[in-house]
Structure 1
Amino acid sequence: MCAWHPFLEEAIDEIENSGIDSLVILPLFPQYSVTTTGSGFSILRKLIDKRPLFKKLDVQWISSWPDHPAYIDSFAQAIGRELVRFSSPDKVHILFSAHSIPESYVRNGDPYLEQTKKTVESIMDQLGRTNPYRLSFQSKIGPVKWLEPFTNDAIMQLGKQGVDDMLAVPVSFVSEHIETLYELDILYKKVAKDAGVENFRRVPALNSDPVFIRALADIVESTL
């Protein structure tokens, strides 16, 4: 990982001593951005270039998988499981929340926004429901302009419009961490309550969901 153990360098050290002859690098960011996958790949390439042994390996780089069928299906199933917990599932507003990035990257060709939109539309097609939905963005840092609408603003706006039931979907996050467990579950749940949203729930991150794990396996196997 980039920010915690095992760090990328630790993983590369282990791989170097493993005796393998091929390597598939699969980022756990479904949608590509230079700020996430691109940054991680840059670090990995520098680490690999320092190790002559890696020149003998067949290295495959997977850049993104925003609409892989099993990935989409795993999210659609997870949303379906949460919708039935509302008294009126068809009236629930589905709020997809993705990590924001600076707008300047998108203007310069970063595909993150379009790939995230593709993920959302694919999930809704697979879900096969007519619930209202929208995409918002969270986790902005720094003074520059980032992708909007921000999730907290979207929640407040929907609350003012009379939305009583809301289901948040952490569409760009595949595992639980501070941006789901704290930002969505605590901060934004309070925003929803203050905005008059009576029932605010969140779809769990995919984590070790069997359908999601099958998606990861399919992606890797397709490169071999």
Structure 2
Amino acid sequence: MKKGVLLVNLGSPDSPEPKDVKKYLGEFLMDERVIDIPFVARALLVKGIILKTRPKASAAAYKKIWWDVGSPLIVLSERLQSKIQKQIDIPVALAMRYGSMTIKKGLQELVNKGVNEVLLFPLYPQFAMATTETITVLAEELRQQYFPNLKIESVPAFYNKSDYIEVLSNSIKHHLEGKNYEHLLFSYHGVPERHIRKSDITKSHCKIDGSCCATPSKAHEFCYRHQCYEVTRLVAEKLKFKEGTYSTSFQSRLGFDPWLQPYTDRTIERLGKQGIKNMAIVTPAFVSDCLETLEEIAMEGQEIFHEMGGKDFTTVPCLNDDDEFVDLLSNWITEWTKTPVEVI
């Protein structure tokens, strides 16, 4: 069998213009694993309310961070793909869950190169319904409909892999070297609390009560909240952070349902009010810088901090196409080519 790899990231509008942003948001928000309510209610909410107001504001945000060469997330993902391809001798394709760089196109590209066994690689360290699961489910649907002779294996969440933690820790250490910061905030993309409960394979463990994430359980294999807190813990342990000098928060909430807390914007506000003058922030739920890191955190977060009396606000870039990260993913892929039964 000829092997190939399909890297999959979130996606981006084709341009920062409102019409393209509206099309992108429509696809994204109509995903039943993103807004997990009945179809009719979801359509009324998305098409009847959100898409009539949000695209213009989102387009303005995208314009703030858009590069001359295109969407930062797309460009950075392409750089990552290119570097990995130079290190391994099997085809590496790139796709996005939403937008014009579809998973179907990515699979077709590999099939055209003679590939019949694919390593599907969601570029998310933590598992979540709205990220990893929606990618793997769609890929299987496409396989059944268009590529019945294709074998697909998926890379599981790698949040606690020791070599990943080492690469992430090295990146944080490098970018904060020489910085005089008092507090490091680990900000992860938020999800509704109900997503955590829906992903609980035990149907009883996840209570989001402050203790369940620290109590060993099979539920942790698919618990986004646990996996986020675990990344913070492992990195803090690796870098020997002192207790009280770091914390975890969640960003990008939507709607009025309870989302994972504490919220990043309110945490930044609180740190400023407490007299913290110099803070840093890292976003380990993303491997590529994007709207949520470049605009929501680096711009809006900094503005909030300054309004609360803060002085220096340092953002740690995502791993992007960092050479150590490229080496790590290339090594995992190479291991997969040698051990077809197990993924990394």
Number of the residue aligned with 2:231? 119
CA contact (8 A) 1:97 1:138 kept: yes
In the TM superposition, what is the alpha-carbon distance from 1:59 to its structure 2 partner?
2.4
Q: Distance in 2 between matches of 1:185 and 1:195?
A: 16
Give identity over the alignment, percent. 28
User: Paired residue for 1:156?
Assistant: 269
Partner of 1:46: 141
Q: Which amino acid aligns with 2:302?
A: K
For 2:175, the equivalent position in structure 1 comes to 82
**2:249, 2:261 within 8 Å by CA — same for their partners in 1?**
yes
Contact 2:192-2:258 within 8 A present in 1 as well: yes
Shift of residue 70, structure 1, vs aligned partner:
2.8
Q: Looking at both structures, which has the greater relative contact order when contacts are Cα pairs under 8 Å and sequence separation is at least 6?
A: 1
Contact kept, 8 Å, 1:29 with 1:36, in 2: the verdict is: yes
Of residues 13, 22, 25 in structure 1, which corresponds to 2:120?
Answer: 25
Give the RMSD, CA atoms, in angstroms.
1.6
In structure 2, what is the Cα distance between the partners aligned to 1:12 and 1:21?
10
Partner of 1:97: 187
**Quick one: structure 1 residues 98 and 40, their matched pair in 2 at CA, closer, same or farther if it must change by over 3 Å?**
same
User: Could you list the runs of 5+ residues in structure 1 that have no partner in the other structure?
Assistant: none
Deviates more, 1:213-222 or 1:153-162: 213-222
Q: 1:26 is paired with a residue of what secondary structure?
A: strand
1:85 positional shift: 3.1
CA distance in 2, matches of 1:200, 1:172: 20
Matches within 5 A, 1:59-208: 59-87=152-180, 92-108=182-198, 109=200, 110-130=222-242, 132-208=245-321
- Quote the offset at 1:104 in angstroms: 0.7
Q: Secondary structure at the match of 1:162?
A: coil
Instruction: Tell me, yes or no, if the aligned pair for 1:76 and 1:123 is still in contact at 8 Å.
Output: yes
Task: Give the residue type in structure 2 aligned to 1:179.
Answer: E
Which moves more between the two structures, 169-178 or 16-25? 16-25
Structure 1 residue 200 displacement after superposition: 0.7
TM-score, length basis structure 1 = 0.91
Q: Secondary structure at the match of 1:16?
A: helix
Conserved 8 A contact 2:124-2:131: yes
Aligned residues: 219
1:142 Cα deviation from its structure 2 partner: 2.0
Which residue identity lines up with residue 15 of structure 1 in the other structure? L
